[in-house]
């Protein structure tokens, strides 16, 4: 099939910043792309061939959108799976498949999947709602501390909380949830796996993630991770196994813990481009976004090797600021070698909202990390 400069149409469910970055590659390759998103101000709107406003969880909206395209993919996993299943049954190529998404969309089912498939992960319990969880505490089936996660609709640290006492339960929503054992880890790692329908598969190097202590958001992604080769090899092998078991097509970001005794435990996955792979736009031979497009179209996958060390700094709304966004001191960092800002196109900022990221590329990872710190201390997202 001719994808380039033709009548072929690629559909993307979701028009956020991940979609916007995917579109830089569909434009580069001149692939006609349609986007569906619920917001009039979706970042992807400016870069796609056709934009449709609609609810991603509504069966009819997703189904009718799918009827207009030749291949359908996602940039967010919270979409109507029944519509995807019907489209697949009618012959549309949907990647990742509804079956893959069904195993991932609900975090309780996702954790059960790891246990059933012998994938190392922390212990967990599932609860239908908050009162069910409280009963387990009363009956000594669950004890403090633990990690609480809502089963669905969590993102960017929202829907995750460390619960140390009954006081921490007060503000939790009354939704389906899971409780996970606290893992005393050395590092939080991630591996992005890229897989095509024909079975070609590649992994990006292991990255290390440094988190904001309050917002539970990634502050820095460091590639390559500053870990021993044997640990990195183990992480990549486990990520490949996870990919094989989910039978996914496209990108799969596998987030992991490196324990104190160098075991690797899978935390969770995202079946799409991911924050942990943004560094790849500047630092890799083929970015995660281009490889996602190549994978879902069953084109040869590009090299996942790095040209240099890459560090990504998340740009999030500063605490105490809400309103029309201003990127304070952005012109300063634009003057620094190897520093590239990416602005997502969200007009309104609020505390800890993801507004963009900055990539730092350098042959020396220590120098890259030092510059990343300077970037973090210089640019501010305010209103």
| 268 marked ligand binding residue | yes
182 in a labelled binding site: yes
Decide: 147 and 101 in contact? Cβ < 8 Å: no
* Region class of 378: left (phi > 0), else alpha (psi between -120 and 50), else beta: alpha
Spatial distance between the Cα atoms of 115 and 125, rounded to a whole number of angstroms: 12
State the Cα–Cα distance between residues 54 and 93, nearest whole angstrom: 21
Pairing of strands 9-13, 185-195: unpaired
Helix (H, G, I), strand (E, B), or coil: what is residue 324? strand
- 90 in a labelled binding site: no
> Does 374 belong to an annotated binding site?
no
Burial 255-290 (b: 16+ CB within 10 A, else e): bbbbbeeeebbbbbbbbbbbbbbbbbbbbbebbbbb
- State yes or no: 181 annotated in a binding site: yes
Determine contact, residues 281/342, Cβ cutoff 8 Å.
yes
Is 256 labelled a binding residue? no
Instruction: Say if residue 364 carries a ligand binding annotation.
Output: no
The answer to whether 282 is a known ligand-binding residue is no
62 annotated ligand-binding residue: no
Feature table: binding site for ATP: 107, 149, 180-183, 188, 267-268
Which positions make up the binding site?
107, 149, 180-183, 188, 267-268
């Amino acid at each position: 099939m001719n994808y380039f400069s033709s009548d072929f149409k690629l559909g993307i469910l979701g028009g956020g910043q991940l979609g916007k970055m995917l579109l830089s590659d569909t434009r580069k390759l001149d692939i006609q792309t349609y986007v569906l998103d619920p917001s009039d101000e979706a970042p992807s709107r400016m870069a796609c061939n056709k934009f449709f406003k609609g609810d991603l969880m509504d069966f009819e909206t997703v189904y009718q959108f799918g009827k207009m395209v030749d291949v359908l993919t996602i940039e967010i996993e919270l979409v109507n799976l029944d519509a995807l299943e019907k489209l697949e049954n009618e012959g549309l190529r949907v990647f990742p498949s509804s079956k893959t998404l069904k195993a991932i969309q609900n975090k309780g089912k996702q954790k059960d999947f790891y246990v059933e498939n012998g994938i190392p992960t922390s212990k967990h319990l599932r609860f239908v709602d908050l009162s069910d969880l409280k009963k387990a505490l009363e009956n000594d089936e669950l004890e403090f501390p633990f990690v609480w996660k809502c089963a669905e609709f969590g993102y960017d640290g929202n829907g995750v909380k460390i619960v140390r006492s009954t006081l921490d339960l007060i503000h939790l929503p009354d939704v389906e949830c899971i409780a996970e054992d606290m893992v005393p880890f050395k590092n939080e790692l991630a591996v992005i796996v890229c897989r095509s329908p024909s079975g070609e598969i590649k992994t990006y190097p292991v990255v290390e993630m440094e988190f904001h202590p309050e917002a539970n958001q990634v502050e820095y992604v460091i590639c390559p991770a500053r870990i021993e080769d044997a640990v990195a090899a183990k992480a990549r092998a486990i990520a490949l196994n996870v990919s094989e078991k989910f039978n996914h097509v496209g990108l799969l970001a596998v987030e992991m813990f490196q324990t104190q005794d160098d075991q690797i435990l899978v935390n969770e996955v995202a079946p799409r481009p991911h924050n942990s792979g943004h560094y790849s736009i500047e630092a890799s031979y083929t970015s995660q976004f281009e490889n996602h497009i190549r994978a879902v179209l069953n084109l040869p996958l590009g090299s996942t090797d790095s040209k240099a060390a890459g560090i990504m700094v998340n740009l999030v709304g500063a605490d105490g600021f809400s309103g029309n966004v201003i990127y304070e001191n952005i012109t300063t960092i634009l003057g620094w070698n190897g520093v590239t800002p990416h602005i997502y196109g969200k007009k309104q900022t609020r505390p800890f909202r993801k507004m963009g990221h900055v990539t730092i590329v350098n042959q020396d990872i220590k120098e890259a990390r030092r510059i990343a710190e300077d970037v973090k201390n210089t640019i501010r997202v305010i209103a």
